[in-house]
Amino acid sequence: MNQTTRRPIELYLTVPILAFGLYDFANTIFSANIVTLFFPQYITETVGTNPRLEQIASTIIAYANAMAAILLVAFAPLYGVTMDRTGKRKKYVVIFTLLCVTAAIGMGIFGGMDNAQWFGLPNGFVLAVLLFVFAKFAYNSSNVFYDAMLSGLGNKREIPLISGYGVALGYMGTLFGIFSVLLLIGDRAVHHTFWLSGIFFLLFSLPLFFINKDKPQETKPKQHFLKGYKDIYQTFLEARLHASIFYFMIAYFFINDALATAIAMMQPYATTVVGFEPGIFLVVFMVATLFSIIGAIIFSFINRNVGSKKTFTFVALLLAVAVAIAALPLPMWTFWIAAALFGIAMGSTWVVSRTMIIELAPEGKEGQFFGLFAFSAKMSAIVGPFIYGSITLALANYGVIASRLAITSLLIMILIGLVFHLKVKEHK
């Protein structure tokens, strides 16, 4: 790896780094358009016609996200050890991206069907929910391998800037995805946004597919399939011997719990609790996205200059303030402040967390610890939506109070995460 630190403009114009950043641009179109915006809108429009059913719709959205996370948890132990044994990252990014795109297109094809009833619901609705679960699983799986490609693109001083560059391009992808899909779909039913978002995901992934290459690595002997689960358990035991990365894994578990759940539930919360119309919520979301871009770029430099631990602490505090404002029955305009703070935290968390794993992981075992990192993140992505959905289901008869209590649970998660993060000690 080149040990000479390149200037930011040199990094950003390097072809493999640009292709890497464009994949962030591509996959954020999927996560923003489908996960955050149009899938929740599709569920709410199909199910929620009164305050009680709006809470049931929130439960379906939360449980669908939790199911996708359960699938990833089942397979994540294999991913890290696969990377360390074979050195192959891009191959699996391509495979899982194609699976995600196929499922997203399927959501668009079947989402409007209603010629039969399954479980008392239109068959197209049921198929769209199942395909969403698989699409999000494939999307999350691709990100495990994609994040691990970061360590091969620069030295440790360059990596925060490359990570921030990718995240910033990702949120530019959010803006492009929203505007282009709305422009092309127009007044057609919301399920048509799914297939078009999938095509855009594929289109902007192509530079990474054809340009980037994995670092040469000697392939290790194949072992039994279940060995991967034993290895992830060994990695967990090894992490316990490295106190800082172990504490950070726990901290990230709780903070990502809040972040992932808030992303998934932002649309139904803003429309059914705060009272925004769907069109106005799009503007709110774009404001959050703009602040995500700003936060990703600014905090990549802050990360480099003050260190990852302090940066992550500050980002987590911003997230806590954003969630607290959203949870309280304050005037509607305060939600714009919450959206801006949440946007900064959303963009910055992924910049700093990827950097911290590379800094804290034992030498030569980055892929193994990225696998454990993904395992921790996706375990939290089960717990958060499950708790949120269970609260809204149990208290559905109380209307918006159910959602306010559900989002308050996220604040508790953030504070627990901060307690563990303060125990992390950075390498000198």
The two tokens of residue 106 are: 């399927």
Alpha carbon 161 to its chain's center: 19
Looking at residue 74, its pLDDT comes to 84
Q: What is the rounded average pLDDT of the residues 372-381?
A: 76
Sequence-distant contacts of 121-124: CB under 8 A, at least 24 apart: 122/46, 124/191
Closest CA to 246 of 402, 369, 157: 369
Best mean pLDDT range from 65-79, 127-141, 298-312, 413-427: 127-141
Please indicate whether residue 272 or residue 367 has the higher confidence score (pLDDT).
Answer: 272
Which helix (H) or strand (E) segment holds residue 122: the answer is: strand 121-122
| Model pLDDT, residue 1 | 43
Residues 300, 294, 141, 317: is their CA dihedral positive or negative? positive
Burial 129-157 (b: 16+ CB within 10 A, else e): bbbbbbbbbbbbbbbbbbbbbbbbbbeee
196 C-beta neighbours (distance < 10 Å), count: 22
* Number of Cβ within a 10 Å radius of residue 400: 18
Greatest mean pLDDT among 3-12, 49-58, 93-102, 231-240? 93-102
* Of the candidates 145, 127, 134, 135, the residue with the CA atom closest to the CA atom of residue 197: 135
Select the CATH number that applies to the domain covering 12-214+223-421 from these four: 1.10.3720.10, 3.40.50.720, 1.10.260.40, 1.20.1250.20.
1.20.1250.20
The interaxial angle of helices 308-327 and 278-306, nearest 10 deg, is 160
Q: Report angle CA 304, 309, 311 to the nearest 5 degrees.
A: 60
In this structure, is the dihedral angle defined by the CA atoms of residues 11, 204, 82 and 78, taken in order, positive or negative? positive
Cα–Cα distance, 343 to 296 (Å, whole number): 9
At 60, give phi and psi (nearest 5°): -60, -45
Half-sphere exposure of 236 (CA within 13 A, CB side): 12
**Are 127 and 110 a contacting pair, CB within 8 Å?**
yes
Give the mean pLDDT of 380-406: 90
Kindly indicate the confidence band of residue 2, based on its pLDDT and cuts at 50, 70 and 90: very low
**Looking at residue 158, what is its pLDDT?**
80
Greater confidence (230 vs 177) lies with 177
The tens digit of pLDDT for each residue in 272-328 reads 899 898 889 889 988 888 888 888 788 888 888 888 888 999 999 999 999 999 999
pLDDT score recorded for residue 222: 62
CB of 375 closer than 8 Å to CB of 79? no
β pairing state of 121-122 and 117-118: antiparallel
Global pTM value: 0.81
**Across 201-208, average pLDDT:** 96
Listed in sequence order, the residues at least 6 apart from 251 whose beta carbon sits closer than 8 Å to its beta carbon are 312, 417, 418, 419, 420, 421, 424
pLDDT value of residue 296: 79
Side chain identity, residue 143: N
pLDDT value of position 229: 72
The C-alpha atoms of residue 339 and residue 347 are separated, in whole angstroms, by 12
Please state, in angstroms and rounded to a whole number, the distance separating the CA atoms of residues 111 and 131: 10
- Sequence-ordered alpha helix ranges (H) in 31-118: 39-47, 51-86, 90-110
- What is the overall mean pLDDT for the chain? 86
Write the pLDDT tens digit of every residue in 215-263.
766 656 665 656 667 776 777 777 777 778 888 888 988 998 899 899 8
Q: 340 to each of 268, 369, 404, how far by Cα in Å?
A: 18, 32, 19
Per-domain residue ranges of the chain: 12-214+223-421
362 is written with which tokens?
A: 């034992």
| Whether residue 126 has pLDDT greater than 60 | yes
> Alpha-carbon distance 322 to 331, whole Å?
14
pLDDT of the residue at 359: 80
The residue whose two tokens read 């995500």 is: 292
Nearest in space to 370 (alpha carbons), one of 210, 163, 202, 216 = 163
Q: Give the Cα separation of 64 and 74 in Å (integer).
A: 16
Give the tens place of pLDDT for each residue, 339-348.
999 999 987 8
